Amino acid sequence: MPAPRKCPLNDFLDLVRQSLKQDSCWGVVLSQPLRLLQTTEAEVLSKLSARPFELSGERQYQLAERRGKQEFHVNLTASELLKRIHEELGARFEQADL
C-alpha cells in the first residue's frame, strides 16, 4: 500500500506554528493571489505580509494587506496570525514564504 500523500498546506502551517511558538518567525509573505473571487483592482488583495514587533513588552505581528496601490495594517497575536494564514492560503493565495 502506498504511503499517504502529505499536504503541503498542512506542512507549511506546521512550520509557521513551530516558528511562532519558538519566536523565530521573522516574517511571512502570502503572494500569487487567486483572482477568481475578486473583481476590481481596488478589491484585489495582491499580497499579505507579516513581521514581528514588540508592543508593551509582548510579541505581536503587523499584518500588511496590499490592495491595489494601498496598504492596510493590523496588529495580530501569533494565534491570530496563524488563523489568518490558514484562512487565506489556498483560498486567496497560491504562494507562501516563511
**What is the pTM for the complete model shown?**
0.81
Q: What pLDDT is stored for residue 89 in this prediction?
A: 87
> How far is residue 69's CA from residue 89's CA, in Å, rounded to a whole number?
22
Whole-number Å distance between alpha carbons of 36 and 32 = 12
Stretches where the chain sits below pLDDT 50 are: none
- Work out the mean pLDDT of the chain and round it to a whole number: 85
Name the 3-class secondary structure at 70. strand
Predicted local confidence at residue 95, as pLDDT: 87
The whole-number pLDDT of residue 78 equals: 93
Instruction: Tell me which residue has cell 503572494.
Output: 31
Give which of 58, 57, 60, 56 is closest to 75, Cα–Cα.
60
CA 87 to the chain's CA centroid: 9
Query: Helix, strand or coil for residue 14?
Result: helix
Q: Which pLDDT score, from 0 to 100, does residue 34 have?
A: 82
How many Å apart are CA 52 and CA 98, to the nearest integer? 12
